[in-house]
Structure 1
């Protein structure tokens, strides 16, 4: 139902509206990727049979990869919902294509690196992407040395590569949770075709402002699954954030300045961009970075990296949303758990 060609056209247009830098300094990735894999493995103990080669890509290539993954995720649910609409499905599909394209285009101008894989197809190969013009723009705007920024981002993305490559159950577990959520979507595309009254707008705004767009689209009976997904993502991101700082402290010239600059980049947005980020869930992801990193830092401070690695022992060892703010309680619950690698 979604016109993915239209989505791609919109995404490229939105991406082109954002400033970009000279990608050339970020096109040689073999050495920083190999260094990152060696350092992250030495610190965490995570080892993968193979990690995908690092690829320097332009924004259009990232958009293509992102929309391909998005299509795999969205088509089953959209097809189920759109079948109820009849002729209105064509119009709704165009509206959703524009929305998907706008979101992808916005992200294409912001993403520095990404461990990319089809989340609902755990056996398909992954890619390790670095968006070279965005890295160049970030280095300029943050006043950061290009080589230092690249090495630091490589630590983060290689941590994800080793998480998913070194923990056998991780990709299937994520796919299973997402399938459960997608089966619970209550979104009705017909709502896109009518003008809501003031009461509708106020109620929807309050729900999105409080809980994010995902909660609005998923029924209350699946809130527990959504919480598990969000806690899972917080651990993934927080672990990578912890590792990039713990390892980077020994190999980067001025890690505190890099960390401070990156935090400013994540927070400094115009009013319109802040609204857009909130609607597409980026605000939630920022909270995931912060909450997840605080949890991981607290666990390591008490039990070392081996204690934190209990999260990879089994899905049941993952912290709940409440435990993200209770590292001591989580450590007590998992005291007899051993890492699975």
Structure 2
């Protein structure tokens, strides 16, 4: 993956992430075997619960006809055969490597199609420098992510469960391991179902991100030729915003008005995806996850950085993790408000076509989405 049509030496980025990433928690072989098997079982067990609570089904799901109490035929998803993609239980380095593959699949075709004059410098040194930045970022994030549904990797869509992070989290929050592992998988399998129920979604997001990437690349080329003082000022503003608590990241500082609007629309879709999964993972109730309320309470405190060193709080802001957490909460508020107005089946209209996705304005004004889609 080091041809001149790429801006990042992706193989080197994965190697850097593996070398500089923090090791996972210490555990015995028996504990690790139990962890891996427990996550695989939880991922499988989560599927029927997610299908039931969301009232969604994969677009290509097997269905069967059955008679209801009035004698009419109805269609029901055969939940035991619903295929939401592959499941892999991985370590931190493998998660990082999988993300370099997906990032390459999303970015390289876009960059290869740019006019040569609009491309940044593609020297070997430039690609290696970019690899160091990407690898370092992935190394930091690799200790934070519990699970990730990846629709952009090679082959089938895949759910990645990062075993050492799940183990570290359940230990730190003193949670019931079986409950917590299922709870995590309920969230991630909801993501899998979102993409399975709306097979156009992955392509839609890729197109939107590709368009933004083309614009941002042009801005980045201009920044690369800017005086050193301008580059230093960019980094300084980002750090200052992070310390103050503003939800900005370095890329926010180089976006123009049109690019910020594009990013806001992408962010709205991501807020929907994350908020929907957050609501559904709790909606299964205590009969499925007996300690769900305890898990949610302690997990929210962990998200808020309770007890974390100040440097970790600043780092979260620089990396944009606080903005990501805001997505979860904004999206969850949207989902709950829509359900209050039109119910869960009414909410599911959002997966029917791209035009039904909420706009950035509608995420904060769910009634506007209801009026537009259900008028």
Q: TM-score range by the shorter chain?
A: 0.7 to 0.9
Task: Quote the residue 2:50 is aligned against.
Answer: 40
Distance 1:200 1:161 in 2: 37
Q: What TM-score does the superposition give when structure 2 sets the normalisation length?
A: 0.79
Task: Quote the residue 1:301 is aligned against.
Answer: 340
For structure 1, which segment, 280-289 or 248-257, has the greater mean C-alpha deviation from structure 2 after superposition?
Answer: 248-257
Contact 1:92 1:192 in 2 (8 A): no
**CA displacement 1:233-270 (0-9 Å, x = unmatched):** 00000000010011144311121110011112222243
Task: Quote the residue 1:27 is aligned against.
Answer: 36
1:127-206 equivalence runs, <5 A: 127-185=158-216, 186-188=219-221, 190=224, 194=228, 196=230, 200=234, 203=237
Counterparts in 2 of 1:197 and 1:310: CA distance versus 1, 3 Å = closer
Structure 1, unpaired ranges of 5+: 337-341
Counterparts in 2 of 1:249 and 1:231: CA distance versus 1, 3 Å = farther
**Which secondary structure does the structure 2 equivalent of 1:128 belong to?**
strand
Q: What TM-score does the superposition give when structure 1 sets the normalisation length?
A: 0.87
Distance 1:85 1:214 in 2: 16
Contact 2:147 2:160 in 1 (8 A): yes
For structure 1, which segment, 22-31 or 204-213, has the greater mean C-alpha deviation from structure 2 after superposition?
Answer: 204-213
Distance 2:117 2:301 in 1: 41
User: Which residue of the other structure, out of 135, 142, 146, is the alignment partner of 1:108?
Assistant: 142
Structure 2, unpaired ranges of 5+: 1-6, 62-82
User: Which residue of the other structure, out of 230, 234, 245, is the alignment partner of 2:282?
Assistant: 245
**Which secondary structure does the structure 2 equivalent of 1:66 belong to?**
helix
C-alpha deviation, 1:77, in angstroms: 5.8
Distance 2:270 2:53 in 1: 21
Distance 1:27 1:117 in 2: 22
Task: Quote the residue 2:12 is aligned against.
Answer: 6
**CA displacement 1:191-235 (0-9 Å, x = unmatched):** 699454775555555778454334334432222221110000000
For structure 1, which segment, 88-97 or 308-317, has the greater mean C-alpha deviation from structure 2 after superposition?
Answer: 88-97
Greater radius of gyration (CA): 2
Counterparts in 2 of 1:200 and 1:105: CA distance versus 1, 3 Å = closer
Distance 1:234 1:300 in 2: 16
Distance 2:340 2:373 in 1: 16
Counterparts in 2 of 1:105 and 1:201: CA distance versus 1, 3 Å = closer
1:319 and 2:363 are equivalent in the alignment: no
Task: Quote the residue 1:339 is aligned against.
Answer: none
For structure 1, which segment, 265-274 or 206-215, has the greater mean C-alpha deviation from structure 2 after superposition?
Answer: 206-215
**CA displacement 1:142-162 (0-9 Å, x = unmatched):** 100110110101100110111
Contact 1:26 1:56 in 2 (8 A): no
**Which secondary structure does the structure 1 equivalent of 2:175 belong to?**
coil
Counterparts in 2 of 1:299 and 1:35: CA distance versus 1, 3 Å = same
Task: Quote the residue 2:92 is aligned against.
Answer: 59
Task: Quote the residue 2:312 is aligned against.
Answer: 273
